[in-house]
Each structure stands twice: as C-alpha cells, then as structure tokens.
Chains A and B, each alone.
Chain A
Amino acid sequence: MLRGLWSAASGMAAQKLTIDVIANNLANVNTAGFKKSRTDFQDLMYQTISESGSTTETGGQIPVGIQVGMGTMPVGVHKIFEQGDFEQTKNELDLAIEGKGFFKVISNEEELYSRAGNFKLDADRNVVTANGDKLQPEMTIPENTISITIDGYGTVTAFDPEGTGTSLGVIELYSFPNPAGLFSQGHNLYRATDGSGEAVYGTPGSDGMGTLVQGFIEVSNVDVVKEMVSMIMAQRAYEINSKAIKTADNMMSIVNNISR
C-alpha cells in the first residue's frame, strides 16, 4: 500500500494532539500558577531504498541515496515553566514565587508540589490551598491575629491587635533538576517522577529558589496570541495532511481502475 497514506495519517494525528494541548492551555488562561504545555514532534524512521555511497552496477558510486520517511510522531508534551505575570490581589495569603521553586503540599497523604500561591485558611486556621491541602511545613495562624506579613525570604509573622508580632516559621520551597519531567496531577499540583529528579529543599531567596511576594499571585503563563497562532498553524497542517490522504485515495482508485 501507499506509505504516504500512513505518513499523512500520522500528520493528522499529530496535529490533533497539538489542538488538544492548545485547547487545554487556552482553557487555563486564567488559572493561577498554571504552566502551559507544548507538543514536540519528530520525524519517524526512514526506509532506505538505496543507500548513498553504495556501488552501482556500472561501478560508479551513488552520490545520494533514497530514503522515504514514515511520517511524524509526538515525542513529548512538555510543560514550559516560564515565569507567569504577577497580579496584585492585596490578599495577605496570596504568594507569588519569583524564581524556580515550588510550594510543597500534602494532598491525600501524598507529597505534591505547586506554583499556585493562592492560599486560604481552613476552619482550624491552617494555611491550605484552594483545595484544602495543607501547605508544608504546616502553619497555624493564632486566633487573635489581625494581620500577617510574609517577607521575601518566607518568614511568616502574625500580628495581634496590640501590634506584637509572633514569628510562625519559614515557608519552604523545593526545586527540581528537570521541572519539565514533573507529572501534572491536575488541581495545579505536580508530582515528582524519575524524570524530574528528586525535590531539592531550600528556603526562599536561597540558591535559585526565588523569593516570595506577598499580596500577588502568579497568573497563568499562557500567551493567548501565541496560542492562537499555533492553533491556526496546527489547523492548516491538519488540513494539508487530509489533502494528502485524499490524493493517496485517488491514486489507489486509479490503480484499481487500470484493468477494465
């Protein structure tokens, strides 16, 4: 059968995947701490019909061989951990990380990591994520607190009505040798994998972790214009591959009609 038919089909499947990823990026354009993904493709293996450098029947050398490719395949959908913009919220439990670190939370007794710093208090005055997962190390805000300050290095201080500050500890951050290898769990959470490497502990402001900014959240790093352009490109690529399939179909129909 025509190899080209399968090449074109692989092209359509690849562009469909791109559209899926773009749609998810666009859906999360307003998700705090969301990191966009990108599909990367590679050409599939090649069939070598004649090898360059081999000898011809007349004793010469074939200068350039013939290799026919088998289409394309996705090689990865990878998260781009580019810094998102900061949005001022003035909420004292909103934290943005200006750097590469992640917060650690416990969700379902599992250690997970997040960039979304829109923290809240639960009924027991613990600092939790919007899903109710506790920030690590756990931090409980005393009852008579009227304001909380968190400095760039993660030190949390609670002030009582008299204006006396009590230090509640330091927020820890974690970084990864290869953040693109993290497993996306949904709910803005990531899980460490063999590909990402082990989480490296640090305090805000220390080596590469980044500092914290109170009263801001990091918004999604999705750039709508770029996604739209990618979407147009993917759609057109999908279209052109469908044309190749149509042509392959017509060619086979011609062959079928050769003998009357």
Chain B
Amino acid sequence: MISGIYNLIDGSLTQQLRFETVANNMANINTSGFKKNIISFNQTLEMNSISKADFTQGPVRHTGNELDVALDSKGFFKIQTGNGIRYTRNGAFTLDEKGTLVTLNGDSVLGQNGPITIDGSKVTIGGDGQVQVDDESVDRLMVVDFENPQLLQKEGGARFFYSGEENEISTVEDVGVQQGYLESSNVNSTEEMVQMIETYRAFESVQKAIQSMDKVTDKVVNDYGLVP
C-alpha cells in the first residue's frame, strides 16, 4: 500500500490529541489554580509530540474569603495527600473538623512545621505566607519551587506530582501570598478558540489528503491494470 497514508493517519491522530488538550483547557477555564497544557510537534507530524504545562501566572481575583490565598510569585503550595506529598497553586483552602488547614479535597496544607492548625477567630495570612491566628504567629506556608518544572505531572484536582529528584526542590524565599484572592485558571478563551479552529482545519485537511491518496490508489488499482 501507499506508505504516505500512514503518515497522514499519524497526523490526524496528533491533531486529535491537540483538540483533546484544547477541550480540556476549555473545560477548566474557571478552575482555580489550573495550568493549561500546550501541545507542540516536530515538523514531521509524527506522534512524538510533547504536551507541556504552561506555568504562566493566572489572573488573581478577589473573593474576600479569608482562607483563599493566591500566589503571585513563582512556587507551589506543598500539600500532604494520602498518596504522599503533592504540590498545587490552587489556594482555595478550608478547615477540617479539627481546625486543620486543608485543600478542598481534605489534604492538609503544609507549613514549615507540618500541618497548620487554626484555632481562633481571626486568621491573617501575610504576604510572606506567615499565618497568624488572633495576632499570634502559627506557622509559615511552605512554598517550594523546582529546578525542572517540566517534571511536574498533573494528577487532576489541580495537584502536581514531582517526578524528579528530591534535591531539585527548593524553598522559595521571596513569596508573594495574597489573602482573600484566588489565582484563576491561566486559560485564555481567545487563544483556545484559535487553537481549536486551527486544529479542526488541520484535521480536515489531513482527512482530505487521505481521500486523495485513496483516489490515487483507486486509479492505480482499477485503471492501470485495465487491458485496453
């Protein structure tokens, strides 16, 4: 058979993957702390494309809730889940029944001295991540950064898992924490729409190319072979 057709199938599968990535970005346009994925390919339209999380800062929006914190610096909050340490930029925190600071999935948010317990009426979280309850300092939010952020794997729930070495993780010193704010998703609807249209048309062209290949094959098989 004509080998070109396989390249084209690869191409359409790649476009499909790209579309799926765009669709996931769009679905998470209002997910706090979400980081969009970008798919890029090498020229030959092969399947060895890469999908990178784009860690640019999302817009920070005011919520007024004292347990909402947004990071407007680099870094990630460190959280303790049932499966081990994970990282997130979604600062929509709450308390559990014991007064421990947790994410909305119930995973405890770690400070410099482990989980943070809030027992009191007034919580202030300073710009440096210092947590104060009734004007008494309790702990400082642990904000960490990575030597190679591309080794962060998405796990869902706005959580990331670091697949690199432990010594590549460092504590961020000049953190910027804003209390009463949340970092919105960094998905830009215009960009995604353009991406989607582009993907769709590319997909369409590939399918047209497959059809012409098929026509060529048709000619070869049915017309050339004819004895006049």
Contact = CB atoms under 8 A, between A and B. Distances in A.
A, B in one complex: yes
Interface of A: 2-5, 7-8, 10-11, 14-15, 18, 38, 40-46, 48-53, 56, 62-72, 75-76, 78, 80, 82, 99-100, 175, 177-178, 180-181, 194-198, 207-210, 233-234, 236-237, 240-241, 243-244, 247-248, 250-251, 254-255, 257-259
A213 B199 CA distance: 61
A45 B52 CA distance: 16
Contacts of A51: 153, 163
B23 A4 contact: yes
Contacts of B216: none
A180 B39 CA distance: 38
A178 B24 contact: no
Interface string B158-195: 10000110000000000000000000000001001100
Interface of B: 16-17, 19-32, 34, 37, 39, 48-52, 63-66, 90, 92, 94-99, 104-105, 119-122, 134, 150-151, 153-158, 163-164, 189, 192-193, 196, 199-200, 203-204, 207, 210-211, 214
B189 A53 contact: no
A68 B21 contact: yes
Contacts, number: 210
Identify the interface centre among B24, B49, B119: most chain A CB within 10 Å of its CB.
B24
B189 A82 contact: no
15 contacts: A42-B104, A42-B105, A64-B51, A67-B51, A68-B20, A72-B27, A177-B96, A177-B99, A236-B189, A237-B26, A240-B26, A247-B196, A248-B19, A250-B200, A258-B211
Contacts of A208: 120-122, 134
A4 B37 contact: no
Given A237-B29, A244-B23, A197 B99 contact: yes
A43 B17 contact: no
B151 A7 contact: no
A8 B193 CA distance: 13
Nearest to A195: B97
A43 B99 contact: no
B163 A53 contact: yes
Given A64-B51, A68-B24, A197-B98, A52 B30 contact: no
Given A53-B163, A68-B21, A247 B200 contact: yes
Given A70-B24, A240-B26, A248-B23, A43 B156 contact: yes
Most buried by A among B23, B25, B65, B156: B23
Contact of B19 (A4, A53, A62, A69): A4
A100 B97 CA distance: 16
B24 A43 contact: yes
A51 B203 CA distance: 25
A38 B31 CA distance: 12
**10 residue pairs, one from A and one from B, having the closest CB atoms:** A208-B121, A11-B27, A4-B23, A69-B24, A197-B97, A178-B95, A45-B156, A4-B20, A177-B99, A71-B27
A3 B97 contact: no
Contact of B30 (A10, A41, A257): A41
